[in-house]
Amino acid sequence: MDFTNIAILLGVGLVGGAWNAIAGGATLFTFPALMAAGLPPVVANATNFLGLLPSNAAALLAYREELRRGGILLVKLSAVSGAGAALGSVLLLVSDQQTFLFLVPFLLLAATLLFAFGEPMRRLFVGLAGESQTSFAVYCVLFLVSIYGGYFGAGLGIILLAIAQIIGHSDFHAANSMKNLLATNFTIISIVIFGIGGLIDWTAAFTMMAGSTAGGYFGGRWARTVNQRLLRFLVVGFGALLSLVYFWRTFGPQVF
């Protein structure tokens, strides 16, 4: 990897870490940046998990008290989420480059829609399900969405937040602590599987990780001073544009 790509990935990691701390949705531009740096699509996706890990995990320190009160329920949820993520990661491991490249525009579009309509979806989900500490359906939903989390994962945070609220965490900080724990849990599991499978470009991952660590720290400090609605609007707009670009690249004029 040459100096130019290293500088680009450091910069992208810095912006991505800050963006995740403030508004979320950084994968929508960090993943394409890794492909632009020359990584094959499947490798870029796997590498992105490690590159953005600090921005996912950093919040856990701030939620120590909430997590301590979670008890055995967090262990159960982590086990279910981890199993789903492991399955999703194995599916990525056995995917060939062409199959994954075919899915990229759909994955980007799904992530964009989750990000754009996640909050109404969360309210609807919570309203329909109510609170249920032991609902089998909730565990099934968590398992299924975690498969997506282990395979690609962008935009999943809002669904995890809804699940946390459904099982009784009406306080936002308690729900957010659970969301961050589950996201960090399946990210680490995915990284282990991708590492064993040889999918991670370690140089690119640690370069981006250095940037995302610094970005997550400063983003956390700036989060209350930045117009998050504007940033979220920009994420959705960029995601929609990126989805169109990759649909065009993958399918050409036959789609349009």
Q: With helix as H, strand as E and coil as C, how does 184-245 read?
A: HHHHHHHHHHHHHCCCCCHHHHHHHHHHHHHHHHHHHHHHHHCCHHHHHHHHHHHHHHHHHH
The single residue listed with the structure tokens 């194995």 is 90
Q: What are the start-end ranges of the H helices in 95-168?
A: 97-129, 136-151, 157-166
Sign of torsion, CA 30 33 39 40?
A: positive
Are 109 and 244 spatial neighbours (Cβ–Cβ below 8 Å)?
no
At 45 the pLDDT is: 92
Tokens of 169: 């965490």
Per-residue pLDDT at 135: 67
Give the pair of three-digit tokens for residue 19.
């963006």
Helix axes 3-22, 41-51, angle to 10 degrees: 60
User: What is the residue extent of each domain of the chain?
Assistant: 3-254
Q: Do residues 125 and 162 lie in contact, with contact meaning Cβ atoms separated by under 8 Å?
A: yes
Residue 128 token pair:
């329909």
Burial of 236 (0-12, 13-18, 19+ CB in 10 A): middle
pLDDT of residue 186: 86
Give this prediction's pTM: 0.79
Residue type, 77: L
Mean pLDDT by 10 residues, the chain (256 residues): 86 85 75 89 92 77 74 86 94 89 87 76 67 67 89 77 70 73 88 94 94 80 67 78 85 61
Closest alpha carbon to 106 in 254, 237, 250, 252:
250
- In eight-state DSSP terms, residue 171 is S
- Residue 240: name the closest of 45, 109, 105 by CA: 109
Dmax over CA atoms of the chain, in Å, equals: 55
Rounded to whole angstroms, how far apart are CA atoms 102 and 105?
A: 7
Dist CA 76 CA 35 (whole Å):
36
Contact 224, 25 (CB under 8 A): no
The crossing angle, in degrees rounded to 10, of helices 202-222 and 27-36 is 150
